[in-house]
Amino acid sequence: MTTAPSDDSALKAKHRAMWALGDYPAVAAEVIPELGTVLAGAVAAGPGVRLLDVGAGSGNAAIPAALAGADVVASDLTPELLDVGRALAEQRGAKLTWEQADAEALPYADASFDAVMSCVGVMFAPHHQPAADELVRVCRPGGTIGLANWTPQGFIGQMFAVLKPYAAPPPPGAQPPPLWGSEEHVTALFGDRVTDVVAQRRTVRVDRFATAEEFRDFFKATYGPTIAVYRNIADQPDKVAALDEALAELGRRNDLGRGAMDWEYLLYTARRAG
């Protein structure tokens, strides 16, 4: 088993707390509901498939996979998100297992899943190589690895670039999440341990917000990384005002009309070699 660096406990605690801020399940359900269904289909979730969802959150991909008939384990670092997922799964009649787990040190045996997936989840693990190693390790030879991750060039990649000057410095060794949306980066992470790679840059249509300001205010209230950045500058009103305007401008720049936006992501599938 690949193990995360031994001094990471404080960093992981901080990540857990960040994703418990606000209401990420509202983001998944109201803003990007189709993304999980697309990924579950891409990994051919269905009867007879034992599937692990890494960074599952509240089950945006895990629940559709379970409803398709797969035997699903939904894992996430943040137990508050899993609690919401359990309730959502019960409402929708989906049966699956929910377990707290660190993407960089998964508590599962080698080759124990037919498919391993992550829907804008594993990309937020701070150390990319250990996380990639774990995805490969727990997938059986010939099994499928499937990822949907925001690209650096797309809307969320742009948003993180806007947030960066106002955020606390990242811890040593932590890598930017949107790198997982770069085919070259993911190719380097997996190397020759995977075959039959299919990498497609796609977009998801987001029409939840009527205005750029509505997008900004929703993400200020619900999205953990945005909330954390605003907390970092809470005692600097000039910076708060500047970030408010920068996020609104981001929304205006990407507005296709009446608030609709296309957010780019990389849909990546591969088979574990061996």
**Domain encompassing residue 91:** 9-205+260-272
State pLDDT tens for residues 207-259: 999 999 999 999 999 999 999 999 999 999 999 999 999 999 999 999 999 99
- CATH of residue 148: 3.40.50.150
Q: Is residue 240 part of a domain?
A: no
Contacts made by residues 238-244, CB under 8 angstroms, sequence distance 24+: 239/166, 242/166, 243/162, 243/163, 243/166, 244/216
Q: Which amino acid is at 160?
A: F
pLDDT at 8: 83
Q: Tell the residue number behind the tokens 């249509």, with chain if given.
A: 205
State pLDDT tens for residues 14-73: 999 999 999 999 999 999 999 999 999 999 999 999 999 999 999 999 999 999 999 999
Q: Is residue 3 part of a domain?
A: no
Predicted TM-score of the model (pTM): 0.96
d(CA 139, CA 144): 7
Q: Is residue 246 part of a domain?
A: no
What φ, ψ does residue 263 adopt, rounded to 5°?
-105, 125
Q: Is residue 90 part of a domain?
A: yes
Q: Is residue 192 part of a domain?
A: yes
Helix/strand/coil for 75: strand
Number of domains in the chain: 1
Contact 110, 139 (CB under 8 A): no
Q: Is residue 252 part of a domain?
A: no
Q: Is residue 21 part of a domain?
A: yes
**pLDDT higher than threshold 50 for residue 6:** no
**pLDDT higher than threshold 70 for residue 274:** yes
Q: Is residue 253 part of a domain?
A: no
Q: How far is CA 111 from the centre of its chain?
A: 23
**pLDDT higher than threshold 50 for residue 3:** no
